[in-house]
Structure 1
Amino acid sequence: MMIYQKLNLKTKILLTMVLTFLLTIGFVGGIVYYQISQLTQNDKDLFKNVVLEKEKQGSKFAVETIAQSLSKFYNENKNKMSEEELLKEMRKISEAVQFGEAGYFYMYDYKGKVVGHGANQSLVGKNLLNLTRKRADGTDQYVIKDLVEAAKEGGNYVVSLWEHPKTGELEKKFFYVSPIEGTDYWIGSGDYESIISKYLDKQNGKIDQFKSNIIKILIISLILVIVVSTFISARFSNYLSKFVKKILNGLNEMAKGNFNHKLNINSHDELEELSVTFNESNKKIRHLIKKVSELIEELSAYSEELSSATAEENYITDKSVDTITNIINNIESISINSQEISSLSELATSQTETGNDNLKDAIKQINEINHSINYSVELIQNLDKNSKEIGKIIDFITNIAEQTNLLALNAAIEAARAGEAGQGFSVVADEIRDLAENTSEATDKISKLIKETQQNSQKSLDSIINISKKVELGNQLIEKAGESFKEIQDSIKQTSSSIQSSSSSTEELTKKSTNVSNSIMEIQSMSQNINNSSHELADMAQHLTELMEQFEI
C-alpha cells in the first residue's frame, strides 16, 4: 500500500485498471475452466453409461436369443430324448456359443444347481445357491439366489463384485439371466464393466483433447484481452494525466499568487466542468483581492486623517494648558490682592482713593479672568466637538475592519473549498483577518479613550462654568464694594467680611482651575494615545498593502 501511494496518478490509474481486468478475467476464466471441466466430466460419464448400456443390451440380446433356441430345442425333442440327453445337447449348444472377448453362458435349475458352464466344466452338478460375494458396503450378497429370483421374474440384470480372471481384483460385473421357457432351467451370461475401458480411454482422450483446445483458445483470448485492456488503460491514464497536470499547474500558479492563469480544457466531460469552476473561483478570488486592496487604501487614508486630527488636538490642548496656567496665575494674584486689602482694611479710611483705584484694577482683572474662562469654555467645547468627530472616524475604521474580517473569512472559506491548492491563500486570508481583528481592538481602545476624554471635557466645562459664576459673583461683590466705598469708614467690618469671602472664593477658584488644568493634561495624554493608535493603524494598513502586492491580479 505504501508503494502504491508513492506512485503518480497515471501509474495508479493504469495499474488499477489492469489489475481490475486481470481479476475479472481470472474470475471469468476460472468459471469457464470449471464449467468446461464439468462438461467434459459429464461427457465422460455419459459416454461410459451409453457404452455400458450398449454392452448390457448386447448381453441381454445374446442370453434371450440362446434361451429361445434352447427352449425350442427342448420342447421339440423332450418326447424323443431323455432328460439327460436333452441337458447334454443343451450344454453343447450353450458352450459352443461365445460373444465378446470373454463372454460365455451358464445354465442353472431354480434350486441353484449348475447344469452347464461354458468357462468351468468342473462346476456342473454342484449346487451354488448359497454362493456369496461382498458388496461395496461390506455385507454379503447371495449372487445365485439373486440370479434365480431374476429368472423367476422373467429375466433381469444383477450386478455384483467379482474377481477378474486376468487381474484377480474385485470388479463390478453385470449379469443377465432369462428363463428357458417350457423347462425347469434358466440361462445367463455377463461381463465386467472394464470391457468398455478401451472405448472409454479412446473417447476420454478425444474429450481431453477438446478440453485442452478450448483452454488454449481461452488462454490466447485472455492474453489478447489483457493486451488490449492494457493498451486502452494506458491511453485512458494518459488522457486523465494530461488534464490533471493542467489543473495542477493552475493550482501551483494560484499558490504563487498569480490569479490571472486560466485553464483551457475541452474534454466535454467533468474535467471541463472542473476547469470552468476553477476559472470562476479564480475570478472571484481576484475580485475579492481587488476589493480588499481598495479597503486597505481607504483605511490608510483615514489613518492619515486621524493622525492629522490628533496632531491638531494636541496643539489645541497645549494652548488650553497655557490659558489655564494664566488663569491660575491671575487667580493667585487676586488672592494676594485680597490679602493685601484685608491687611490694609484698617487704613481704608485714609486710603479710600487708593482703595478705589485697587477696586477698579480688581474689576478689570476679574473681567480678564472671565474672558479667559469664556475662551477656555470655547476651547473645551471645540475639544468635545473634535472628540466626537474622532469617534465618527473610529466608527468608520471599525466598520472597515469588520468588513475586512468578513472578506478574509470568505476568502478562507473559498481557499478551504479549493483544498490543498488553496492553503497558501488561506494563510494570507488568516493574516488579513488577524490584522483586521487587531485594527478592531485598537479602534475599540481609541473609542474608549475618546469617551473618557469627552467625559473629562464635560467635567472641565462644568468646572469652568462654575468658576465663571464665582468670578461673576466676585465682580458683583467688588462693584458693591465700590458703590459702598464712600461709606467704607462706617462699614470697615462689613468690607473685611466681604474681602474674606472673596479670598475664600479665589482659593476655591484656584483649586477648580488646577483641576481644569489636570483634566486638560489628561486630554492631552489621550490625544497622544489616539495619535499612537493612528500610527499603528497606518502601519497595519501598510503591512496589508505589502501582503496584497504579493498577488498578481
Structure 2
Amino acid sequence: MNLKSIFQKSLKTKIIAMVNVASAISIATISVASYSAAGHTSGSDDTLRYVVTGIIMQGVVGISAYFMARSITKPILHMASVAEKISHGDLTVELSTSKSNDELGKLTNEFSNMVVSLRQLVSQVRDGSSLVASNSEQVVSSTEQMNSSVQQISSTIEQISKGSQTQAQELEETSKVVVKLTNEMKKLASKAGITADLTKEVGLISATGSKSAAEADFRMSKIISVTNESAKKIKELAERSGEITAVVDVIRKIADQTNLLALNAAIEAARAGEAGRGFAVVADEVKRLAEGSAKSSEEIDGLIKQIQEDAKATVLSIEGGTKEVSEGRIVIDKALKALNEIASKVTEVSVNVLDVANITQVQVGEIEQLSKAASEIAAVSEQNASATEEASAATEQQTAGTQEIAASVQKMAIMADDLTKITAGFKLPEVSNSKIRKSGEIKEEVMI
C-alpha cells in the first residue's frame, strides 16, 4: 500500500469516526436541552420529533464531512500523482489550475506553474543540445580539411604547439565547467533556503493542529462532565417523583377512607329520616370530594410513572452519548499524538535542511576559489602556447586556426554531451533526440 492509499484510508476513517461522534453528541444534547427547557416530557410525538431531528442532523453532518474531505483530498492526490510522474522524468503530464484563492488553490496553481516552467526549461536545453551537435558536425568537417595541411609541418613544433594548445583548452573548459558548477551550487543553496522556510511553515501548521486537537480534547472533557451532571440531575428527579408517588398513595388511601365514611354517614342519615336529611347532603358532598381526590391521585400517579419512564430513557440516551464522546476523545488523543510526532519530525527535517544550506554555501566558496585557480593556470598555458607558435612563422596561422577549431569542437562536444545527459531522463511531448550525437564520436573525428 503506497502513501497515497494510506493517507486516503486514514483520513476517511477519522472523518467517519468524528461524524458518528458529532451526530451522537448532537442527538444527546438536543434531547437534554429540550427536556430541560420544557420541564416535562410531552409524550411519544415529541420523542419521535427528537429522533427525526437527530437523524436529519446526522445526515447533514455526514454529507458535509464527505464533501469537505473530498474537496481537500482530491486536488492533493492529483498533485501527488503528477509529482510521482515528474519524479520519473515524465513532463507530459498536465495539471489544471485552480480558481480558488485559499491555500490549497494557491498550492495547486504554483505547482502547475512549476511544471510548465520545468517543461520549458528542459525543452530549451534539449533544443540547445541539438543545435550544438549540429554545429559540431560542421566544425568537424572543417577541422579534417585543415588537419591534412597541418600534418605536413614539422612534427616537433606541431607536437609542442598542439600539446600547449590542448592544455590551455582543457584548462579553459575546466574553468567553464567550474563556473557552471558554481552557478548550480548557488541555485541549490537558494532552493535549500526556500525548503527550510517551507519546513518552518509546516512546523507552525503542525503546532496549530496540535493546539486545536488539544482544545477539542478539552471540550470533550467538558461535554462529558456536563452530560454526567445532567444524568445525575435526571436520576434525582426520578427519585423525587418516587417520593411524590408515595404521597399520592397516602392521598388515595385518605380518599378511600373518606368515601367509606361518607357512605356510612349516608346510611345513618337515611335511618334518621327527616332529621338526617341535611346530614345526608353533607355526606354526598364529602363523597364527591373523595371520589374527585381519588381520581386526581390516579392521574397524578400515571403522570409520575410516565415521568419516571422518560427519565430512565433520557438517562440511557445520555449514557450512550457519553460513551460515544469518550470514544471520540480517544480518536482525538490519537490525532494529537500523531500531530506532535509530525511536528517533531518537521523540526528534525528543518535542522537538516539548514545544515545542507550551510554546507552548500561553503562549497560554493570553495568552488569559486577553484575556478579562479583554473583561470590563472589557463592564462599561463595560453602564454606558453603563444611562445610555441612563434617558433614556426610558416605554420602559425594554420596551427592557430586548427587549434581554435579543435577547441570549439571539444567545447561544443562537451556541451552537447552534458546537455544530452541532463535531458535524457526527461520525457517531453513530440521531441526527437535523433540529431543529438555523442561527444565521444565528435572527439574521435577531431583527432583524425
Q: Provide TM-score, normalisation by structure 2.
A: 0.32
Richer in strand (by share): 1
Query: Greater relative contact order: 1 or 2 (C-alpha under 8 angstroms, separation 6 or more)?
Result: 2
Richer in helix (by share): 2
Which protein shows a greater Rg? 1
